[in-house]
Amino acid sequence: MKATTLALVELGTIFAAVCAMLFVGLGQVRPGSSAVALALAQALALSLSWVVAFYVNNLYDLRAASSFGRFALRLPTSMSVVLIMLAGFDHLAPAKINLGGPVIWAGLLSVGVVLSVRAVSCAVIRSGPFFDRVLILGATPLARKLIDEINHHHRVGYTIVGVVDDAVPLGDPSFRNLAVGPLEHLGTIIDQVRPNRIVVALAERRGRLPVGQLLKSLTQRIVIEDGVDVYERLTGKLAIESLMPSRLIFSKDFFKSRLNLMFARIISVLVAGVGLVLLAPLFALIALAIKVDSRGPVFFVQDRVGRLGRRFKLIKFRTMHSVEERTSEWVCDNGGRITRVGKVLRKFRLDELPQFVNILRGDMNIVGPRPHPVSNFELFMARIPHYPLRGIIRPGMTGWAQVRYGYANNLEEETEKMRYDLYYIKRMSPWVDLRILLETVKLVALGRSSATILATPVKTSRKEPLPELNRAA
């Protein structure tokens, strides 16, 4: 069950239950009376409040709420959000919606409806008969990532029934108890384990791919998928180490139409222009706070790399004490330099607001990959696979990597962010941009890092030496 489907089911169920209680249970509304519209508005307000509350608390991410117990732990916080939203509705339109009296009883009913729907949905999506039985071809690093993603990250809907390869590393814990035989016995293995889905994760396919048996499997209504595509669908990022150059060269997904780029540009300019006008008083307050709190300029300006490798000056509010000596690029190395005001600005991402100016200049868009410092450009070009593809589109104030991963503190983590950036470029659309903007608003409003709201990525403490910068943001 997808998150969107679950949200629509819950919205419709709560709305129907509340309407039934108002119309029938409490007898407050008679068909044909003028109170019908009022009752419908009350039910809609309550239903929307629940859906928004679940979204804010990340309860439509089935990794965070993969069981009813996980869901129940976050329910009190969600109820608080519902009460706040209902108070807001009541304040904005008290004469029209009148969220009191019978609606309180309807609200109590909605709690029971929510618990019942989630209990049923969690039972359904975690029940064996609804799981896809997955057979993986190839004991490769990509296969290892897929197994880890399905088994250890609360990926519901899949169960791995075996790994087929001529030599499976049994000492590797990822493949333990999963080896079911060599590729030449694939037909027999399929008859034994009866998979619904075969995922091809072979590193070298020429001469090894059992084409005949896979074609026969299609006639048996077994889904055949490429491991790279499955990994992308499960994680929201690309397995860049497993991508063949030919796959990228011939893919039309990385060729962005002028209409798509123009639409993104128009939206970015409108948002930046309106933002600068509406937030001008906030800009003045932040500037005053920075000057009072510490010595140095209000703004931090740094050379960054934009679209097609062009250089530009990125503008941010200064969040660190200025220093004369050369300093490290990484966030973890500069924690002691962050000012008191800087901590607040960073927590709520307010230090990024001056980049509205960069957007109006044409350096950036609202959504896109974050622009990297010029000093690291050559290193990233040499060490991160397919790095030039980042330059296809303008960089952004926020992006898929920012809401899914956060800051990077070494070269390995920059590579991890690159996987998210390429996923965004491949799937770039107004709907994806809208989703990123909603996630960004949630991060800013709650003052949380992306790792605390979404799945926490695996990070390492090993650092790669990078060229140092004269100043850090």
Whole-prediction pTM: 0.80
Contact 110, 18 (CB under 8 A): yes
**Which residues is 398 bridged to in the sheet?**
367
24 pLDDT tier (thresholds 50, 70, 90): low
Lowest-confidence region among 206-215, 222-231, 276-285, 439-448: 439-448
Where are the domains positioned within the chain?
A: 3-125, 131-235, 258-453
Q: Report the alpha-carbon distance of residue 223 to residue 231 in Å, rounded.
A: 15
**Which residues is 240 bridged to in the sheet?**
none
Judge whether residue 471 has pLDDT over 60: no
Q: Report the alpha-carbon distance of residue 338 to residue 331 in Å, rounded.
A: 10
- Within a 10 A sphere around the Cβ of 465, how many other Cβ atoms? 9
Phi, psi of 137 (to 5 degrees): -100, 115
Lowest-confidence region among 10-24, 94-108, 351-365: 94-108
Q: Which two tokens stand for residue 81?
A: 């959000």
Contact 376, 411 (CB under 8 A): no
Q: Report the alpha-carbon distance of residue 423 to residue 420 in Å, rounded.
A: 5
DSSP 388-453: GGGGGS--EEE-HHHHHT----SHHHHHHHHHHHHHHHHH--HHHHHHHHHHHHHHHHHT--HHHH
99 pLDDT tier (thresholds 50, 70, 90): low
Q: Report the alpha-carbon distance of residue 6 to residue 66 in Å, rounded.
A: 12
Q: What is the mean pLDDT of the chain?
A: 83
Among residues 405, 401, 397, the alpha carbon closest in space to that of 454 is found at 405
Judge whether residue 470 has pLDDT over 80: no
Sign of CA dihedral 139, 145, 148, 149: negative
Give the angle subtended at the CA of 97 by the CAs of 20 and 446, to the nearest 5°: 100
The residue type found at 404 is R
Among residues 354, 356, 330, the alpha carbon closest in space to that of 473 is found at 330
Q: Report the alpha-carbon distance of residue 422 to residue 240 in Å, rounded.
A: 9
Judge whether residue 419 has pLDDT over 90: yes
Give the helix/strand (H/E) hosting 3: helix 3-20
Non-local (6+) Cβ contacts of 155 within 8 A are: 63, 149, 234
Half-sphere exposure of 105 (CA within 13 A, CB side): 12
Q: Report the alpha-carbon distance of residue 361 to residue 347 in Å, rounded.
A: 26
Contact 38, 102 (CB under 8 A): no
Between 255 and 94, the more confident residue is: 255
Q: What is residue 464's predicted lDDT score, i.e. its pLDDT?
A: 40
3-state secondary structure of 218: helix
Q: Please report which residue ranges of 294-366 form alpha helices under DSSP H.
A: 340-347, 355-361
Radius of gyration of the chain (CA): 26
> Taking every pair of C-alpha atoms in the chain, what is the biggest distance, in angstroms?
77
Sign of CA dihedral 403, 408, 414, 415: negative
Q: Report the alpha-carbon distance of residue 45 to residue 34 in Å, rounded.
A: 18
Non-local (6+) Cβ contacts of 358 within 8 A are: 312, 313, 314, 315, 364
Q: Is 3.40.50.1980 the CATH classification of the domain at 131-235?
A: yes
Residues 6-29 have a mean pLDDT of 76
pLDDT tens digits for 390-407?
999 999 999 999 999 888
pLDDT tens digits for 277-299?
999 999 999 999 999 999 999 99
Helices 227-235 and 141-152, axial angle in degrees (round to 10): 40
The count of residues in the chain is: 473
Residues 397-421 have a mean pLDDT of 90
Q: What is residue 243's predicted lDDT score, i.e. its pLDDT?
A: 84
Residues 240-257 have a mean pLDDT of 85
Give the angle subtended at the CA of 467 by the CAs of 464 and 469, to the nearest 5°: 125
Contact 98, 79 (CB under 8 A): no
Percentage of the chain beyond pLDDT 90 is: 44
